[in-house]
Structure 1
Amino acid sequence: MIASCVGFVLIGALQALYGPAIPAFRREFGLSPSAAGMGLSAHFAGGFAGVLLFDRLYGRIGNRRLLGCSYLLMAVGAAGFALAPDWPSALAMALLAGLGFGGLDYGLNQLFAIGFGHRSTAMLNVLNAHFGVGAMLGPAVVGVIGADRYPAVFLGFALVTLPLLLCLRGVRDRSPKPGDAVGESGVLGRSLGSVLAVFVVLYVLHVGIEAGVGGWEPTHLESVGYGAGFAATATSVYWLMMTVGRFLVVPIALRFSAQAIITVSCAGMTGCLLLATVPGLAPYAYAGVGLFIAPIFPTGLPWLNRAVPQARRAGATVIAASVAGGVVAGPALGKAIEWSGTRAVPLLLSGVSALCLAATLWLIRATRSS
């Protein structure tokens, strides 16, 4: 369990390393904002493929082999990204690292959802909180070492990943089949497809916001007058608040429903993004975004399982959708920034956040009977 949490620290760090290094990418390879954003998009594209691939292989080959391959792919991809001689090669390596990222994201979430029974909701929040620990440490390391030395950071990441291969003996090679949701009938009839589709939309959009803030907060803060070091540190605070939010929601989930928690999260996220348009408040508002967005991913999974227990691959579908949100976020936001300027980043993201709130309210009505 501890090794799995360390694994989530590492995948959080890997995702968060790209954003603070964007200025160095642009200088070294002569890239536009949208081209630089493709680094994070390639990572998420690999993650999307990794989720789908490992969902296909889940139950067919041993869990230890799946997780071991994921760690190796992530380490090799990170090392290759650091040593890439040109931007196309770097994108290919980011894709490879993302493949391992997706395998770990899906595999460990699936094992924690099955392995802890009625405590799975709390344990999923604990597991995903460690993602935030890594996402907080990644930009902090870049801020200390310097964005221009990003190859050393990625190489160090690859070396730290390899020892986790020794900890896989504690993973059972075959998983028990997940039981049916207790006392839940789920959504019946033709509404099943609609509910699953809106869950997918919610996950795509909220992870797009998560990746968008993590990737472009440093650039936005620099555009409104903050220094590069302060901007990188502020991004670390954003990921720190995401970590704090996931730990805080563990006791809160014992008293409030998943629907209520996610509704408050989306509303608070939207308000904070609007506040981030004010330069003096932007660093604090981004920290608020991290706090509110934190519970959505792990808290939404149990709600999904209760709402559509008939859909065996529903969890894999929304996890893949969450990775797809990261794929789309980089170039889409980069292109929007080229049209409207970097100062518009929080305003653009607040519109996406409002759509997340609308999707949540629709899901509450659609799943009320379950």
Structure 2
Amino acid sequence: MQTLPSLPDTAVRPDRPFSTPAVVASCIGFVLIGALQSLYGPALPALRQEYGLSPSGAGLALSAHFVGGVAGVLGFDRAFGRIGNRALLGASYALMALGSVAFAFSPGWPLALLGALVTGFGFGGIDYGLNQLFATGFGRRSPAMLNILNAHFGIGAIAGPALIGLFGADRYPAVFTGFAVMAALLLIPLGGVRDRHPGGLPADTAAHPAVRRARRTAALLTVFVVLYVLHVGVEAAVGGWEPTHLEAVGYSATLAASATSVYWLMLTLGRFLVAPLTLRWSEPAIIAVSCGGTALCLLAAVQPGLAPYAYAGVGLFIAPIFPTGLPWLRRAVPAARRAGALVIAASMVGGVAAGPALGKVIELFEVRAVPAVLFVLAAVCLAATCWLARATRAPSQASGGPGQPLG
């Protein structure tokens, strides 16, 4: 019986944290968390009717989910390395399953909010845990694998509302229950996850001067956080305010809704398309092009005739930033495991704050100002990326090719 714990690792290559079936299961896990996050909005009408809620009261469900997500990222970061990878991911899937069932069948709104909070906690654990393992487990292929992994989040985000539309908002308990069952089933392939991935920080990262210079480390981490908060804020704001902006400039509600669906589709497609490019180009180069393209598309969206197409371009360009930046962050910032948790948690905060913050801006100006405001944020992201590229470029790489890693 003493050999049983080591058996699951026999299917895992010594240099990888996952077997092939576990990689597939991880992608399904990201479909799951993408779908769960996207279910609350379409279910709002049924929630209001069932519990007698105001619009703001019903919206607390998504807020509770994100609060749980931030707590899950930070909580599991504390446990990462102290408990095995299987235990971390298994607990996360179990919490998502329990929380989803609790949300679906709670007799009262406070218990439903608790269910959303628990679901979010598991969501944060999966988001952090799989991003962390993919960022460290595939060598030069890590940026490509991270883009593929996060593209599956987009598939789930598209599929979730589609399922609510198919079955009806009043049947949201059945949809949440279905995803709870999926979360429970994903416990099975965890045997293909290496419980302890060998090695810590790469040797080149450990030797980087930033390890020994706390002020430089703090500056790098601060700019990475700014990049993540703002770009996720732009991503969420376009998804939330694109329909309102398009209707304000003369498009029908049907076309505005369709254009927003295309935006999310392009965001998902962009991550698949950039995966092979990460094998030839450095992360800073890819992110700089992404930020620049996002800014130009938002500038084009100021013109009503170009707006629907420009927003689709935003989805395509902004797609690679989140997953491609994590391996770069790991090499650039000492103790990158903790840094990764901080930027993922900060990005969640950015996504939550984007809607209300942009709403306040619109109150001061008008909804037509949405793309101009977001253009400014994208331009700041580009400036942050350029600063980080210069700050993390080693002297010996000043004349290196685009495919050479930094750090």
Q: Give the TM interval when normalised to the shorter protein.
A: 0.7 to 0.9
Residue of structure 1 aligned with 2:128, choices 103, 106, 127: 106
CA contact (8 A) 2:132 2:337 kept: no
Q: Higher mean Cα deviation, 41-50 or 80-89?
A: 80-89
- State the percentage of identical aligned residues: 67
Partner of 2:175: 153
Partner of 2:140: 118
Residue 333 of structure 1, CA deviation: 3.5
- Matched position secondary structure for 2:87: helix
**Partner Cα separation in structure 1 for residue 48 and residue 299 of structure 2:** 28
**Partner Cα separation in structure 1 for residue 302 and residue 61 of structure 2:** 26
1:70 aligns with 2:92: yes
For each residue in 1:282-334, what CA deviation from the matched residue of structure 2 results, as whole angstroms up to 9, or x when unmatched? 43332222111111111111211222245452222222222222232244344
Residue 54 of structure 1, CA deviation: 0.5
1:20-35 map, 5 Å: 20-21=42-43, 29-32=53-56
1:213 aligns with 2:238: yes
TM-score between the two structures when normalised by the length of structure 1: 0.86
56 and 46 in structure 1: CA distance in 2 versus 1, 3 angstrom threshold: same
Residue of structure 2 aligned with 1:165, choices 166, 187, 190: 187
Residue of structure 1 aligned with 2:375, choices 345, 350, 353: 350
1:283 aligns with 2:308: yes
**Partner Cα separation in structure 1 for residue 64 and residue 80 of structure 2:** 24
CA contact (8 A) 1:202 1:359 kept: yes
1:324-363 map, 5 Å: 324-337=349-362, 340=365, 343-363=368-388
Structure 1, unmatched stretches of 5+, are none
Partner of 2:332: 307
Partner of 1:50: 72
Partner of 1:251: 276
Residue 243 of structure 1, CA deviation: 1.8
**Partner Cα separation in structure 1 for residue 127 and residue 365 of structure 2:** 34
Q: Which has the higher contact order (CA 8 A, sep 6+)?
A: 1
Q: How many residues align?
A: 368
Residue 215 of structure 1, CA deviation: 3.6
Residue 198 of structure 1, CA deviation: 0.6
CA contact (8 A) 1:63 1:174 kept: yes
Residue of structure 2 aligned with 1:316, choices 311, 325, 341: 341
CA contact (8 A) 1:18 1:39 kept: yes
Residue of structure 2 aligned with 1:139, choices 145, 161, 168: 161
For each residue in 1:192-214, what CA deviation from the matched residue of structure 2 results, as whole angstroms up to 9, or x when unmatched? 21011110111111122222333
**Partner Cα separation in structure 2 for residue 223 and residue 81 of structure 1:** 35
- Matched position secondary structure for 1:97: helix
Partner of 1:12: 34
**Partner Cα separation in structure 2 for residue 267 and residue 55 of structure 1:** 32
CA contact (8 A) 2:270 2:317 kept: yes
CA contact (8 A) 2:136 2:327 kept: no
Residue 29 of structure 1, CA deviation: 2.5
- Matched position secondary structure for 1:29: coil
1:192 aligns with 2:217: yes
Residue of structure 1 aligned with 2:200, choices 178, 184, 192: 178
CA contact (8 A) 2:141 2:279 kept: no
CA contact (8 A) 2:217 2:334 kept: no
CA contact (8 A) 1:38 1:330 kept: no
CA contact (8 A) 2:245 2:370 kept: yes
Residue 49 of structure 1, CA deviation: 0.8
For each residue in 1:25-60, what CA deviation from the matched residue of structure 2 results, as whole angstroms up to 9, or x when unmatched? 67762225xx66544333222111101111111122
285 and 22 in structure 1: CA distance in 2 versus 1, 3 angstrom threshold: farther
Give RMSD over aligned pairs: 3.0
Letter in 1 for 2:375: S
Letter in 2 for 1:294: A
Structure 2, unmatched stretches of 5+, are 1-22, 395-406
1:268 aligns with 2:293: yes
Residue 353 of structure 1, CA deviation: 2.1
Q: Higher mean Cα deviation, 191-200 or 244-253?
A: 244-253
